[in-house]
Amino acid sequence: MKIDFYYWDMQCPLNNEMLKLLKKYDSRCEIHIHNVKGDFALAKKQRMFFPTLTVVNNVKRYFKPLNENFLNHLLQGKEAEEKPYFIQQERKIFTGEIFPLTKQNIEIACACTSRKSSENCHKKLKFLEDCCSDVFGFINVNDGKLLGGVEYVPSVLVPYDIPKSDKIAFLTCAYLSSKKYDYKTTPLKTLENFLKRKFDKLIAISGDRGVFPNGDLEWFLKNGFSDEYVISVELNYCKLHLVSKNL
């Protein structure tokens, strides 16, 4: 079995965990690792719009974070099925305390993965520091607990095949999606006001119904974004839209 693992550096803190996991399987199958940071041509060729892309035997494409059960399933010669992540999101907005996402509180944001790892968080911080100044986004916090947040990078640094300009920012993450409240809208509005100092437009990639990556599309439309066009279709998994908003 051959596995090609494409990843956008440490854009997601789980990327570090997945790289370490793949090393454990290196003797059991053919594994090729590709970091698309700065390699726009490779990301375009692979039609990559997620933090990671796993391609098995040059054919089957997977997008979710890798785990041992998934890899063991593949090694048994079985075709793993990947289902999109759908939840019914509550549209009622809940605002706790809104903080700029910085070096000082990055560990709070890394809780979005539901896994605690200082190493993962440190690598994520290095990624953000290479992309932005000292503010990487905004987080919604209540009693020290992460409720939601948003992060961005300048579009010119994004490896995906998207519009790029010094005046366009790209929303990398919008989290956490919940059935109880909308925890993402207030940090998004705060980020938009912050970005106005330097950028004219904010763009993002959203699933039409799923919340990974970001989304769903309705959430963006309710927040004043325009649906520009369908940027990618993954058969039986998702339809991705490029959305934008003038700042």
List pLDDT tens digits, range 172-197.
999 988 888 999 999 999 999 999 99
Q: Nearest 5°: phi and psi at 166?
A: -65, -20
Amino acid symbol at 107: E
Output the pTM of the full model: 0.94
65-71, Cβ contacts within 8 angstroms, sequence gap of 24 or more: 65/12, 65/14, 65/17, 65/18, 66/5, 66/18, 66/21, 66/22, 67/21, 68/21, 71/21, 71/25
List pLDDT tens digits, range 197-219.
999 999 999 999 887 778 799 99
The SS3 of residue 151 is strand
Q: What is the mean pLDDT of residues 31-38?
A: 97
Q: What is the mean pLDDT of residues 84-105?
A: 89
Between 113 and 52, the higher pLDDT residue: 52
CA separation, residue 2 to residues 5, 29, 45, 55, 153 (Å): 10, 6, 18, 8, 32
What residue ranges define each of the domains in the chain, with the CATH number in brackets? 2-75 (3.40.30.10), 97-246 (3.40.630.30)
Q: Judge whether residue 115 has pLDDT over 70.
A: no
Per-residue confidence band for 47, with pLDDT thresholds at 50, 70 and 90: very high
> What is the phi-psi region of residue 165: left when phi exceeds 0, alpha when psi lies from -120 to 50, beta otherwise?
beta
Per-residue confidence band for 88, with pLDDT thresholds at 50, 70 and 90: confident
Q: Judge whether residue 151 has pLDDT over 90.
A: yes
Handedness of CA 224, 136, 156, 123 (dihedral sign): negative
Q: What is the structure's pLDDT at 116? A: 67
Instruction: Give the span between the Cα atoms of 124 and 240, in whole angstroms.
Output: 25
Q: Judge whether residue 164 has pLDDT over 70.
A: yes
